Amino acid sequence: MLLELSIENFGIIGQIKWQPISTFNVLTGETGAGKSLIIDAIEALAGKRVGEEIIRAGADYARVEGVIKSGENPALKNTLAGYGIESEDSIVLTRQIDRGNRGINRVNGRAVPLRLLREIGRLLIAIHGQSEHVSLNDPSVQLLLLDRYAHGEALHSEIESAVEMFYQVEKELETMTEDAREATRRVDLLSFQVEEIRKAELQDNEDAELQAESSVLSNIENLKASSQAAYEALYSGELSLPSAIDRLGEAIKLLKELALEDPDTNNLLKDTEGASYQIEDVSQSLRAYQDKLEYDPERLERVEQRLNLIRDLKRKYGDSINDINKYAEGAEEELRKLDSKDERKAVLQEEEAVLRKKIGELSHQLSTIRHKAAGKLSQEIEQELAHLNMAQVKFQVQFSLFDTDNKVEFPDGQSYSFTSSGIDRVDFLLATNPGEEFKSLAKIASTGEASRLMLAIKSVLSKVDATPTLIFDEIDIGVGGRSGDVVGQLLSTLSKDHQVICITHLPQVAVFANAQYTVRKDIHDKRAITTVTPLSGQDRIEELSAMQGSLSEPAMESAQELLEKAAAWKTAMQTADN
């Protein structure tokens, strides 16, 4: 139940704070004063998407805040728990829209995504707009209304989920069939690539080692000449050009003489002797290196062939041996998946059969519930229509079947086409006068008839609807004064179990409200200002008179008479209930 509504910078509304009562509230006032803006603000609070166009001119933001008494509501408690919010007896919802289409949403001061406001709104507030009777012509809307009445919404949702999964499985199966040839070509290609790479038996860093070997084999003569020259310079010099080892020998001899004279030079002698040993070792290594330098054209050819193979694989599969091997691993994994396609297909076919059976079972249950509820719904709607001065109108729910390729089998052995809503199509039919045939609502109902039919349906559904707050935005459009009082009576009856908020231009409806508020638009400092003012006593009589188009004495007396008549009816209803 809405305890308090605060609106700031919303359309032409500068700032208002409104505290509706728990039963029947009615908002009245001139067209354009801002009545529907109040409903728009409540819709925004309940999660409807709005843009910065609703922000009042000259303001940086629009804000709507509502204090709602939630009471014991297990569904709401579970919803809030999913977002880590503890359920309380009342909650505060805040919606702020900033320029640049930014904004923030809060529940009890905690920032939340817009979808949470939408979920809360769905549980606590039902808003019925001016043109909602138009949507009543849609067979899918009619089916949803029937399911709500029959308590079949959970089954409907289960079928939707199962059918969605069924279509996903079916799509994958179709894709597998369509791609069969391409898959075969892909297997052939991947098998060739894997075989080509694995046959090469590539080793890490092999290309670098082969490149070094190729360089050696291609430059044998130069390497021999260089190593020989180095060997001679170090070890086997000529008389005219002594080698390094020869010069070091002379130096060692002189240092030995020096050390005899000065022991402090012993370290220099040791270092020079060490250098001599090192040169001898290097010289021996150079000799061994020379001995193994042999020109091997066959080995060089094999090395070049191997390098060419690696270069070719790099061109196809990657910049390095590691990349090539990774490509092979990926190709092998894809091959495993492709090879298991038959297994996957068998699994999918089994899933499809299971889902088809599940859809059949759920659809059979829901169809049975729908057919059973349809007759009772028709009777109750006809009763409500009678209360709305449409006693001659007969209502009927007509069932038909879909015609699609996808079918399910029922226990009776018959196969039926199905959609995400089951196997049933429904059409709401009316016979507006005695002796006339039933015809589709969309073809025969006038605006007034459709509005009253929507009211009748909402009245019937409210008996099974746990939504605490029902809002009607001029849903009595097209309803004349003669029927206005029965519309008011219906809304008053609804307010026994629900908080009802209604916008109306009919005084015959307004007089049944337990609280009436006038919405006015005034001009202050060249700006439009909307206000909401509670009415009582003479002020209410004047407003009801103005709604009749006159403030004359007869109009005042008529307004007083309407109020007294409504009060008498409510007293009689209360006495009957007791």
Same domain, yes or no: 199 and 292: yes
Give residue 134's pLDDT. Answer: 55
Provide the CATH number for the domain around residue 3. Answer: 3.40.50.300
User: How many domains does the chain contain in total?
Assistant: 2
506 part of a folded domain: yes
Same domain, yes or no: 259 and 192: yes
Q: What is d(CA 9, CA 34) in angstroms, rounded to the nearest whole number?
A: 12
Picking from 339, 359, 376, the residue at the C-terminal end of a domain is 339
Same domain, yes or no: 242 and 110: no
Q: Are 93 and 117 in contact (CB under 8 A)?
A: yes
364 part of a folded domain: no
Same domain, yes or no: 210 and 77: no
Give residue 448's pLDDT. Answer: 60
**258 Cβ contact partners less than 8 Å away, ≥ 6 residues apart:** 265, 268, 269
Same domain, yes or no: 325 and 213: yes
Report DSSP state, residue 56: P
Q: Which helix (H) or strand (E) holds 37?
A: helix 35-45
| Residue 49 neighbours by CB distance under 10 Å | 10
Same domain, yes or no: 283 and 208: yes
Same domain, yes or no: 2 and 67: yes
215 part of a folded domain: yes
Same domain, yes or no: 327 and 222: yes
314 part of a folded domain: yes
207 part of a folded domain: yes
398 part of a folded domain: no
Give CA separation, 352 vs 164, 186, 337, 356, 407, in Å: 11, 27, 21, 6, 12
514 part of a folded domain: yes
Picking from 298, 323, 339, the residue at the C-terminal end of a domain is 339
The distance from CA 163 to its chain's CA centroid, rounded to whole angstroms, is: 19
Task: Give the chain's radius of gyration (CA, Å).
Answer: 46
Q: What is d(CA 298, CA 219) in angstroms, rounded to the nearest whole number?
A: 15
53 part of a folded domain: yes
Give residue 480's pLDDT. Answer: 61
Give residue 239's pLDDT. Answer: 54
Report DSSP state, residue 411: T
Same domain, yes or no: 89 and 206: no
Same domain, yes or no: 329 and 201: yes
Same domain, yes or no: 94 and 25: yes
Give residue 386's pLDDT. Answer: 84
Give residue 424's pLDDT. Answer: 94
Torsion 484-489-495-497 (CA) sign: negative
Report DSSP state, residue 180: H
Same domain, yes or no: 18 and 91: yes
Tell me which residue range forms the domain holding 304: 186-339
Picking from 310, 339, 368, the residue at the C-terminal end of a domain is 339
Report DSSP state, residue 406: -
Q: Are 527 and 14 in contact (CB under 8 A)?
A: yes
**pLDDT 10s per residue in the chain (578 long)?**
899 999 999 988 989 999 999 999 999 988 878 888 999 999 999 988 888 899 998 899 999 999 999 877 788 888 888 888 888 888 999 999 998 878 899 999 999 999 999 988 888 888 876 555 556 677 887 898 899 889 898 899 899 999 999 999 998 888 877 666 777 788 888 889 889 888 888 888 888 888 877 777 777 767 777 777 787 777 776 655 777 777 788 888 888 888 788 888 888 888 888 888 888 888 788 777 777 777 777 877 887 888 888 888 889 888 888 989 899 898 888 888 777 777 778 888 899 999 999 999 999 999 999 999 999 999 998 888 887 778 888 899 999 998 888 888 888 888 999 999 999 999 988 888 888 888 887 676 555 666 677 778 777 877 776 678 888 887 666 566 566 788 888 889 888 888 999 999 899 999 999 999 999 888 877 777 888 999 999 999 999 999 888 888 988 999 999 999 999 998 998 888 76
